[in-house]
Structure 1
Amino acid sequence: MPPTNTSDASAPVRTRPFREGLVSLEPPRLLGSRCGACATATFPPREFCPACRAVEGLEKTELDRRGRIHSFTVVRQAPPGVAVPYVLAWVDLPADQVRLMSTVVGAEPEAVELGLPVELELTPFATGEDGAELLGFRFRVIDGEENA
């Protein structure tokens, strides 16, 4: 269910990605590209394949929502207004053979470890000039039985 506007509970807040072509909202997915020649997937989408250099046959593709932490750091100093500490990680999406950088939430920084399973989530982080809520992405640690 989309968030509602606090000034008028009957009017839904418009939401959109902070950058077009980076994420889809329903269902939440990262948007990448896949090469028709060698099947290499990339994020963000590219105009050419970094593996085989093909410029034709690249198709937009939705990437898997689940991944694992490849490496990470705990950021303890940041510009004013940015809450610390937070986890910044390289996340592998094994189903697509893609690695990308993202913040990771859902666990205390001291509990984050290599190989920890994570899942994509969209999160509001700003308001656009048109009043729309701008959504970005991050990954949330999967806990409980889903960790297996």
Structure 2
Amino acid sequence: MAAGWFAGEGDDFRLLGTRCSACASVFFPREDHHCRNPDCAGGELAPTPLSRRGRIWSFTDSRYRPPSPYVTDPELSWEPCAFIAVELEAERMVVLGQAAPGITVKDLAVGLEVEVVPGVLHEDAETTWTTWYWRPTGVTA
């Protein structure tokens, strides 16, 4: 889990970005040191929850086992997955993420509405690595 990147559970689950108090620019991943807007002299950066929904801007099928630091168990078979670029509803910014388990490129189309949901990237006896997934609205786990 990337600390501070998301919070909540169920319908309260949100990605967390930061908003500049001077220019209102929103950033994800979060920015804690300075405003990344080149036209802004800078202001305080405050955590801000991002839209739960957006529309697919682009997507692709991933057919290879990703390299480190992505956590996969080399002893287990690796399942291909879809990656989705989503334009967030209110912020009008694009955020990348993996499709929820069971969702393939056959289930996706540019412009389709999706929502962010919590997920488990990997777990072992000591640690559970959490993440976010994109899932078409109206689809339940």
Tell whether the structures are fold-level matches, with TM greater than 0.5. yes
In the other structure, the counterpart of 1:98 is 93
Q: How many residues align?
A: 125
In the other structure, the counterpart of 2:55 is 68
Pairwise CA distance, 1:37: 1.3
- Contact 1:122–1:135, Cα closer than 8 Å, also in 2: yes
How far apart, in 1, do the equivalents of 2:83 and 2:14 lie? 19
Pairwise CA distance, 1:128: 6.9
Correspondence 1:133 to 2:137: no
* TM-score of the aligned structures, taking structure 2 as reference length: 0.76
Q: Which runs of 5+ in 2 are unaligned?
A: 67-73
- Contact 2:87–2:95, Cα closer than 8 Å, also in 1: yes
- Contact 2:85–2:96, Cα closer than 8 Å, also in 1: yes
Identity of aligned residues (%): 30
Counterpart secondary structure, 1:110? helix
How far apart, in 1, do the equivalents of 2:104 and 2:79 lie? 13
Which of 96, 112, 116 is equivalent to 2:112? 116
How far apart, in 2, do the equivalents of 1:40 and 1:136 lie? 24
In the other structure, the counterpart of 2:34 is 48
How far apart, in 2, do the equivalents of 1:82 and 1:107 lie? 15
How far apart, in 2, do the equivalents of 1:32 and 1:49 lie? 12
How far apart, in 2, do the equivalents of 1:77 and 1:99 lie? 23
* TM-score of the aligned structures, taking structure 1 as reference length: 0.73
Q: Which runs of 5+ in 1 are unaligned?
A: 1-17
Pairwise CA distance, 1:136: 0.7
Pairwise CA distance, 1:132: 4.6
Q: Which one-letter code corresponds to 1:82 in the other structure?
A: W
- Contact 2:117–2:134, Cα closer than 8 Å, also in 1: yes
How far apart, in 1, do the equivalents of 2:92 and 2:103 lie? 25
How far apart, in 2, do the equivalents of 1:67 and 1:82 lie? 28
In the other structure, the counterpart of 2:82 is 87
Structure number with larger C-alpha Rg: 1
